[in-house]
Amino acid sequence: MEDKVRYGVYGTPMESGTYKFAIGEGSLDDAGASYSAIAPVSGKFVANDWNEYEVALTDTGMDYTKAGKSDNIVGVLSGGVQGTTIDLDAMFFYKK
């Protein structure tokens, strides 16, 4: 995939903090707990404000030129804090 292909996340968390997004296969570690997903992508988000985070697919090592797997495709973690809410407006792939 080209460097121009991006994965974007837009959302509004209810609390400020670090939220972790992951897509595909592999593992994502959240406060010592491991979850299946490739390319953990972490971003600092500000509470009650729309936030944007984007990453080039080539930075994640993802390859969607082959058939998909049955594992989780998208994971969202909130640092091990129960009851934490994040309102996602959009999660998408696009070419810049």
pTM: 0.38
The helix/strand/coil state of 33 is strand
Query: What's the pLDDT at 95?
Result: 73
Tokens of 72: 């989780």
Query: What's the pLDDT at 40?
Result: 43
Q: What percent of the chain shows pLDDT beyond 90? A: 0
- Kindly report, residue by residue over 45-93, the tens digit of the pLDDT: 666 777 666 666 666 666 666 665 555 556 666 556 666 666 666 767 7
Q: What is the mean pLDDT of the chain?
A: 61
The DSSP code for 12 is: E
